[in-house]
Amino acid sequence: MYILAIETSCDETSISVLNETNVLSNTVSSSSNLFEETGGVVPEVASRKQLEYIIPVLQKSLDTAGVSMEQIDLIGVTVGPGLMGSLLVGVSFAKCLSAIYNKPVVPVNHLIGHIYSGFVTNYLGEKINNDIQFPIVGLLVSGGHTDLVLIKNHKEIVYLGGKRDDAGGEAFDKVARILGLSNYLGGPLISKQAEGFNKNLAKGLHLPRPLINSDDFEFSFSGLKTAVLKVSKDYDVSEISYEFEQSVVDVLLQKTQKACDVYKPKTVIVCGGVSANTRLRDTFKSHFEKKVVFPLLALCTDNAAMIGCATYYYKDNATKDLDKFNADPSLSLQNL
């Protein structure tokens, strides 16, 4: 079964071809470099770029996979959440391909796509042997979301809790801006600074771990960002980066462990852009050992391969009725 998946929820234009859950191509074209100057995505600019990129990205993905549009069995597309203009580019393109080639479409929630990044079984020829068993506790930490879910099976996802204010990735980005590291996407730069921190030169900075002991599955990172702002002149950038990163990791780990205490999952999946963070990966792996599954690094940040993998598991939702689905920027993991 060949799947063509389309992801355009933010500033990436990505198209992937899969054979079931085996990824044959995953082309990602990003306009994020344009937003360093503006300090954030300008939605109209992002969607105009997506209009420009989408046909070459499709061509490249089909060519790399060696698959033609006629051979595709199913089209999967991100319908939300995300930026309206960006989602519209992908959804309209999927509808257009469906009408021209007479193919059914599976509408996919971007956040569910992130969860399914852990279910990919082969990536461009590299075999992935993730041992995933239900029930699963899923932690999704991205630029827009921080959510804990219980995945009982492929059809039942229960929302446990999420962010009250800034998402985990958003906190990384805002702290990077405070520290003068980056104006837009700062996660990897904070991580690099933290890696370079020399503990022998530590001045002993301690940042708060917001809501770490609260009796729920909620997260709040905006106070942590303010705490960084207050000390930003008094400590070295590498010490602040190290302590900030540790604070985020401590909170995410403790809340995930709390979900495990209550729901006793067989597997823990951590996904979304922040799951690319080395300290987060190392800390979770040493704590949960074989129980924790991380997506490949290439599948942590936004990409169409994860949407294709979700398309495979949600193939029962396939439709040729193009009025049945539309771009919906406000989709979430609540009320699925």
Q: State yes or no: cis peptide before 208, omega within 30 of 0.
A: no
Residues 269-308 that bind ligand KG4 (CB under 6 A): 272-274, 276-277, 301-302
Within 10 angstroms of residue 302's Cβ, the number of other Cβ atoms is: 28
Residues 136-155 that bind ligand KG4 (CB under 6 A): 142-144
Instruction: Answer with the entry of Zn ion, ligand KG4, none that 120 interacts with (C-beta below 5 to 8 A by kind).
Output: none
Cβ proximity to ligand KG4, 287 vs 315, nearer residue:
287
Residues 121-150 that bind Zn ion (CB under 5 A): 142
**What sign does the dihedral 311-315-317-321 (CA atoms) show?**
positive
Task: Write the DSSP assignment of 296-311 as a string of letters.
Answer: -GGGTSS-HHHHHHHH
State yes or no: residue 191 binds ligand KG4 (CB under 6 A): yes
Instruction: Answer with the entry of ligand KG4, Zn ion, none that 186 interacts with (C-beta below 5 to 8 A by kind).
Output: ligand KG4
Instruction: Answer with the entry of ligand KG4, Zn ion, none that 173 interacts with (C-beta below 5 to 8 A by kind).
Output: ligand KG4
Instruction: Answer with the entry of Zn ion, ligand KG4, none that 147 interacts with (C-beta below 5 to 8 A by kind).
Output: none
Cβ proximity to Zn ion, 142 vs 247, nearer residue:
142
Least distance in Å: CB of 233 to Zn ion? Answer: 33
State yes or no: residue 173 binds ligand KG4 (CB under 6 A): yes
Give the 3-state secondary structure of residue 114. Answer: helix
User: What's the token pair of residue 256?
Assistant: 């995930």
* 8 A C-beta contact, residue 6 and residue 307: yes
Least distance in Å: CB of 19 to ligand KG4? Answer: 25
Residues in binding contact with Zn ion, number by CB under 5 A? 2
Instruction: Answer with the entry of Zn ion, ligand KG4, none that 187 interacts with (C-beta below 5 to 8 A by kind).
Output: ligand KG4
State yes or no: residue 256 binds ligand KG4 (CB under 6 A): no
Q: Which residues are CB-neighbours of 168 under 8 A, at least 6 positions away? A: 141, 142, 146, 219, 221, 248, 252, 272, 274
Interface residue with Zn ion, options 11, 239, 243, 302 (CB under 5 A) = 302
Of 162, 148, 167, 161, which Cα lies nearest the Cα of 265?
A: 148
Give the 3-state secondary structure of residue 29. Answer: strand
**What sign does the dihedral 106-110-111-114 (CA atoms) show?**
positive
Name the DSSP class of 72: -
Least distance in Å: CB of 205 to Zn ion? Answer: 30
Least distance in Å: CB of 255 to ligand KG4? Answer: 17
Cβ proximity to ligand KG4, 75 vs 176, nearer residue:
176
C-alpha torsion angle, residues 31, 35, 37, 40 (rounded to 10): 180
Residues that bind Zn ion (CB under 5 A): 142, 302
Residues that bind ligand KG4 (CB under 6 A): 10, 142-144, 169-170, 172-173, 185-188, 191, 272-274, 276-277, 301-302
